[in-house]
């Protein structure tokens, strides 16, 4: 009996299992998904498009049919910003579900409601940053603009500028080093302020004398392309994100670099895993929600009743509806909270406790607890459920490891796990380690993202 345990090298195991071709194929699909999912709205739409191609039908269609059966594939949309995918199990939903829960929003800059102004013959958009960012990382880089505007007559207009080959891009100015002696004395968190994140969008004035301003020219150009007026910004959700595509990273193409991998990397794995789930014993679910980066509040966040209400609709379709069945379904569920972990970074080793950090290339990482410092705000999975997941992964030869968010006193963070745990469900955080988390471009190992997909698939399909 070997009393010692060491986490495996993912690439070594992948090569031994002749899985290199599968890893690269999966990564190619994932990169394509990222490039179509620069915002939570685009991500939700892409998931629904993919699900529809796999035979999933909307819950509205199912309600019209009036019943559900084992093996039915169903999707529910939440206000264009969230999606739940279900494969109905052999057991009643009341007996509990197997759930992969991830978020599809990412740190970014949002346009303020009154964003457009002109200063010294240049036009800018004012922004309000969303989620935990390092503000200095967003200056002097190409930016794209995505979102929706609801016009006065109720028309919804999709806006996308910055990623097509012929599109212009935008940027936030930084101060030249020749004049930055005062800026250099500030802390990194203060060198660029929130009100300094103003996006440069143009400099040519309109040519009519009474409207000879750059601002008016920007409005005219936007009106010509999208039909919007300045007042329409009040009923718009427009986001500033990094311009550019997700790409392979490294001479060996072993990693992926992209905006928004936190947490679309876990969402995509959950989506792929449920596509390969047929007639499970327990109803399988992939749940993709919004607003995690700002606390999971609002009607599209995990705190909303969207998922609970959807489960109620499905239980009603199974007959003999009661609120008690909903409570039983939620409390008896087993959940992997799919969210990313902090991968150990040798460049910043002092922030990590190496033996309890996730490492690049060593597989999917489970995180028993999160929170800050003294586990504040954590969802701490119990040992029984950790062992259950461990056994499932080992049974399917999934390469896995454990991880924490850095040294105990360094800081920390949380996920949606605690919200689902409030129902009494068993919940364990499970995702991949990222380098440069929350930066405009984040880095993930292809070995880890592939093993995460394999782990999620095993979890949805295997019961011990």
pLDDT digits (tens, 9 = 90+) for 281-340: 999 999 999 999 999 999 999 999 999 999 999 999 999 899 999 999 999 999 999 999
pLDDT digits (tens, 9 = 90+) for 32-44: 999 999 999 999 9
Q: Answer yes or no: are the C-beta atoms of 335 and 425 closer than 8 Å.
A: yes
Instruction: Spell out the domain ranges in the chain.
Output: 10-106+259-461, 108-242
Is the Cα dihedral 345, 349, 351, 355 positive or negative? positive
| Burial class of 78 by CB neighbour count within 10 A (0 to 12, 13 to 18, 19+) | buried
Q: Is a pLDDT exceeding 90 seen at residue 176?
A: yes
- Two structure tokens written together for 173: 């100015």
What superfamily in CATH does domain 108-242 come from?
A: Aminopeptidase i, Domain 2 (2.30.250.10)
pLDDT of residue 1: 66
Instruction: State which fold the 10-106+259-461 domain adopts.
Output: Aminopeptidase (3.40.630)
Q: Where are the alpha helices (DSSP H) in 371-445?
A: 383-395, 417-421
Quote the pLDDT of residue 208: 79
- Give the DSSP H or E segment for 87: strand 82-87
Average pLDDT of the chain?
Answer: 95
Q: Residue 420's closest CA among 429, 407, 412, 411? A: 429
Locate 361 and state its tokens: 């290339």
Instruction: Report the C-alpha gap between 124 and 298 in whole angstroms.
Output: 29
CA nearest to 199, candidates 243, 258, 130, 139: 139
The residue-averaged pLDDT of 437-450 equals: 97
For residues 373 and 362, the answer to whether their CB atoms sit within 8 Å is no
pLDDT of the residue at 122: 97
Query: In the chain, pLDDT over 70 holds for what percent of residues?
Result: 100
Tokens 């390969």 identify what position?
276
Would you state the structure tokens that stand for residue 335, as one six-digit string? 């959940």
The owner of tokens 């958009």 is: 125
């Amino acid at each position: 009996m070997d009393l010692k345990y060491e986490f495996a090298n993912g690439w070594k195991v992948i090569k031994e299992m002749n899985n290199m071709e599968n890893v690269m194929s999966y990564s190619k699909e994932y990169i394509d998904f990222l490039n179509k999912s620069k915002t939570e709205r685009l991500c939700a739409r892409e998931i629904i498009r993919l699900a529809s191609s796999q035979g999933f039908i909307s819950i509205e269609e199912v309600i019209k049919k009036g019943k559900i059966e084992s093996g039915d594939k169903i999707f529910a949309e939440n206000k264009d910003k969230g999606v739940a995918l279900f494969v109905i199990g052999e057991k009643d939903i009341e007996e509990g579900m197997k759930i992969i829960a991830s978020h599809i929003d990412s740190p970014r800059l949002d346009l303020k409601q009154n964003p457009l102004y002109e200063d010294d013959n240049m036009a800018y958009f004012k922004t309000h940053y969303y989620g935990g960012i390092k503000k200095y990382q967003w200056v002097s880089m190409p930016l794209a603009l995505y979102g929706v505007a609801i016009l006065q007559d109720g028309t919804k207009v999709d806006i996308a500028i910055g990623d097509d080959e012929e599109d212009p891009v935008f940027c936030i100015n930084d101060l030249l080093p020749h004049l930055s002696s005062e800026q250099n004395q500030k802390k990194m968190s203060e060198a660029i302020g929130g009100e300094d994140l103003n996006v440069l969008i143009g400099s040519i004035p309109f040519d009519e004398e009474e409207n000879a301003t750059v601002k008016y020219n920007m409005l005219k150009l936007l009106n010509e392309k999208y039909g919007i007026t300045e007042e329409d910004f009040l009923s718009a959700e427009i986001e500033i994100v990094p311009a550019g595509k997700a790409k392979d990273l490294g001479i060996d193409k072993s990693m992926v670099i992209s905006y928004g991998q936190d947490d679309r990397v876990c969402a995509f794995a959950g989506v792929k895993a449920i596509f390969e789930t047929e007639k499970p014993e327990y109803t399988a679910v992939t749940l993709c929600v919004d607003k995690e980066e700002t606390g999971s509040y609002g009607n599209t966040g995990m705190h909303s009743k969207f998922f609970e209400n959807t489960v109620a609709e499905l239980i009603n379709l199974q007959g003999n509806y009661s609120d008690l069945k909903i409570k039983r379904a939620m409390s008896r569920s087993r959940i992997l909270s799919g969210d990313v972990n902090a991968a150990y970074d040798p460049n910043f080793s002092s922030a990590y406790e190496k033996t309890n950090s996730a490492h690049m290339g060593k597989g999917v990482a489970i995180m028993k607890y999160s929170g800050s410092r003294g586990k504040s705000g954590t969802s701490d999975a119990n040992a029984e459920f950790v062992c259950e997941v461990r056994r499932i992964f080992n049974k399917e030869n999934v390469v896995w490891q454990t991880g924490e968010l850095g040294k105990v006193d360094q800081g920390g963070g949380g996920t949606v796990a605690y919200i689902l745990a409030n129902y009494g469900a068993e919940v364990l955080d499970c995702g991949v380690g990222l380098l440069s988390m929350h930066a405009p471009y984040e880095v993930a190992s292809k070995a880890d993202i592939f093993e995460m997909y394999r782990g999620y698939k095993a979890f949805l399909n295997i019961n011990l």
